[in-house]
Structure 1
């Protein structure tokens, strides 16, 4: 056995079951190494501050080469009302509901300490062994909140990374994800999911000179509120996503991108700023939304994502964005490497207006709200907080959603066509483009007085969609009634009864090789033909990663990917 070539030993172990691999561990050193690699037992490690020595002991030698995924759950100490009241009653009287600036600073420092711990731990191993090839996933913290009012659980302030320049560079990290670990309902649980400042994505990405993949799954919000029946519940819910911190975190991301020197190796981005999509959908369509753009002419956050996309090969976005997302307001751009792009565009825009109206133009004139000092949570308790808490104590919190108002299923012809034109112009500057998709998830669940929409969609009680997809010749196609492959360019207009004007249609016809024939398809027969909106399934399955590119190395852990955007 000792004389077998290592390549053959590796191949043999590749066919064995985990039980058999336990037996081959002791045959020889060659089989031990090959068995450990084939078992996958050392491919992932959940790092904590308590098991850092164990991590070092396991991976300080040959097993470092087996490691593919390091996960780290950030954490914040629990908040206990009884303990807080006992330490300083005078301070607690001012901050029963609201966190102080000092508390926010301490959370930022604790978060920064944990990120530095992860970097220092990985840097130590890099110094002792050859550089590896792994994904680092950092999870946002979940905080337990005991015995306090709901204000303490509904937090819209962000966690910030302090002094990112002091972090060491890590050549072993080829993929980075920053994710929310799970869905938390703060009005129904004694927990709070703390939000990470979006610029942390940029600050950390610059620390990995060989980064190939950047991903996130974060609730970035847009000032939405569920259609709760009780006003007291709405008031608490609004504190989970106040417009001031939301605008600031988008601006911070944009500011970071202006001076960022991202790794030249970065080729893939999978950025979900609408997680979970169910929260971004189940909102009142007559709700007034904040204007996150003023005083700027365009949305800096959208524009910064365009800068990020310029050198990529694959891009998947779920986002609230404006026309500057892929095409600059004044000028032109190109995407020399981009092969696959899929953008899920939320029906609301950063200005507070909506890309979709209701039947007969219902809701068309909605305007965004100005962001001012009242758009931020106060840093001390107020009489309004006390009154709200008393009302909640007397009446209780009713978190049942009633009287849903989801009626926006018709394109706003003032707002959506310019975005489509920008998308088409950008796609025409992608010489390697194989597939492109721009779509919005829609829903209908409105009172009877909003009208009958059976002329818009056959299945109004199911998740709907509106979108356009391009497929290059000789590329696996859109899931469209047998149209999976063609020698021609294919363009799928899944837009119900809406039709583009000639100028816009001409822009889309310029995508791809002009020498190849263009085939255009309208609607789905199964959903009612050309005049009806499709169900969401075809777009759910059009995700760029995993399903359409099963051989993709990143993300290392694909368990978080679900093809259904709404469960």
Structure 2
């Protein structure tokens, strides 16, 4: 199919300014005499994507071509006497397909190309901005249809244009874990292409190195949630995951990061200048400074790291209750197989699958609401999890983080097994407790450290289950933080629940 050229023309600078002024006038108009007028202490910037038109004479291709969208290069703060706390919400890119076009294709609803900032140096310096939030307006929704992913480097790049920025908040950086749709066509259409996924992580590691000297010294608090927290359990933990750490097209040699995960290294570098860091990411032990005796994160007060049960190299930190660990290592990413394919044959196969499955899955829920998850990894794999715990404990030492008040490392584990696995565990005590074997059970797994206050001792709180303990070296490393006698170490039981609580306010 021929691809129709798309030219996305944003509103002019004057139009944006007039729009803001109109909002102010509308808010001020009904105010009684003597009431203060509206000031822009907080401002929403709605980034609206252009409508994609799929015309009969010029149908859109299933794959999105590379394109550059222009953007206004200047926007002065409206109120020079007040600090600004803007929210940038990335809107959906809607898709129009006339009913009279046969072979309706939803490929275009699932975007793979990330939006980036062009000509960063041409953006103005906004001196009044002290807080910036960037997120997708539908980030709380599970359905990724029409969502426009943004480069995970963009928030930090924008921070370099805000000389007095204090806080950067990103409740979702558009990293997605593959969804286990029952429909094979939906799995292909919504595929998280492994090549671009890896390249985006490489760009983040490289981008942090570039922006570190340019970030404002006032920036002390950063929240980066790379993937959306899973409240529903729609993943398949039995499939092989990609190795996102291996060499990429933009970095053919792994020597650039010395074989380590670029995101973990980038976060480690970023933490060296922060007081608060809140991270949700696929990580390796490289995120923590576990070696050396010098000041590494000298300003850090509060550290919160939620890690995914899968490591970025495709290996897992957890197995099934009976040691099940299919595909213990990730697969290598190849140019021919793991980037969006340009050949029409792949799209034709997907369309044929869709036609075959459409009648089967369309019903009250529809093809989009049928899932075949297999989430069973609830027991730590000692040789994988202990190095992560040890690196965390070593990084908490006073000589490395002298200002630290608290730090925690944790993940959420889910029991939502496949039908075959349900039968295997029926009547067994090995699985987490449920009223029905097909129910979803979630629980928090991790460790928290509270630094001593005054002359008191610190405290370590474990929540790793009653029948599992870290290796002796890990226990000793944490005992060094709170005393060797162990009275300042607490072991909490799991709290099982059907669905983890979501921070709804993070997406408002």
Class of the TM-score when normalised by the shorter of the 2 chains? 0.7 to 0.9
RMSD over equivalenced CA pairs, Å:
3.4
Equivalents in 1 of 2:130, 2:464: separation in Å? 39
Q: Which residue number in structure 2 is paired with residue 212 of structure 1? A: 166
Instruction: Find the aligned partners of 1:389 and 1:214 in 2 and give their Cα distance.
Output: 42
Which 10-residue stretch deviates more, 450-459 or 200-209?
Answer: 450-459
The correspondence for 1:495, drawn from 435, 451, 464, is: 464
The answer to whether the Cα contact below 8 Å between 1:272 and 1:318 also exists between their aligned partners in 2 is yes
C-alpha separation in 2, matches of 1:205 and 1:69: 17
Given that 1:441 and 1:536 are in contact with CA atoms closer than 8 Å, whether structure 2 keeps it comes out as no
Between the aligned partners of 1:67 and 1:77, the Cα distance in structure 2 is: 27
C-alpha distance in 1, partners of 2:443/2:14? 45
Distance verdict in 2 for CA 1:385–1:175, change over 3 Å: same
Q: Which residue does 2:181 correspond to in 1?
A: 228
The one of 109, 125, 133 aligned to 1:153:
109
Runs of 5+ unmatched residues, structure 1: 1-46, 476-485, 525-532, 544-557, 563-567
How many residues align? The count is 451
* Separation in structure 2 between the aligned mates of residue 330 and residue 472 of structure 1, nearest angstrom: 20
Note if 1:98 corresponds to 2:63.
Answer: yes
Tell me whether 1:197 sits opposite 2:166 in the alignment: no
Out of 488, 495, 508, the position equivalent to 1:534 is 495
Q: Is 1:55 aligned with 2:9?
A: no
1:174-185 matches, cutoff 5 A: 174-183=130-139
Question: Aligned partners of 1:523 and 1:494: how far apart in 2?
Answer: 5
> Match for residue 448 of structure 1?
422
Q: TM-score, normalised by structure 2?
A: 0.80
State the secondary structure of the residue aligned to 2:346: helix
Which of 124, 127, 130 does residue 171 from structure 1 map onto? 127
* Alignment check: 8 A CA contact 1:333 1:426 kept: no
Gaps of 5+ in 2: 1-11, 26-35, 98-103, 248-253, 362-366
Q: Could you tell me which of 237, 257, 266 is aligned with 2:219?
A: 266
Q: Aligned partners of 2:507 and 2:54: how far apart in 1? A: 37
Structure 2 counterparts to residues 70-469 of structure 1, below 5 A: 70-82=43-55, 85-86=56-57, 89=58, 92=59, 95-101=60-66, 105-106=67-68, 109-110=69-70, 113-114=71-72, 116=73, 120-123=74-77, 125=78, 129-130=80-81, 132-147=82-97, 148-183=104-139, 191-221=145-175, 224-238=177-191, 241-260=192-211, 261=213, 262-278=215-231, 281-295=233-247, 296=254, 297-327=259-289, 334-363=296-325, 365-373=327-335, 374-378=337-341, 380=342, 382-396=344-358, 398-428=367-397, 429-446=400-417, 447-451=421-425, 454-455=429-430, 457-459=432-434, 461-469=440-448
- The alignment partner of 2:190 has SS state of helix
Q: Which residue of 2 aligns with 1:560?
A: 506
Q: Report Cα offsets for 1:216-271 as digits up to 9, x if no partner.
A: 0225335x332222322221221xx2112211221112111112121111111111
CA distance in 1, matches of 2:471, 2:462: 13
- Give the Å deviation of 1:408: 0.1
Q: What's the offset of the Cα at 1:401?
A: 3.5
* Selected match of 1:472 from 451, 456, 462: 451
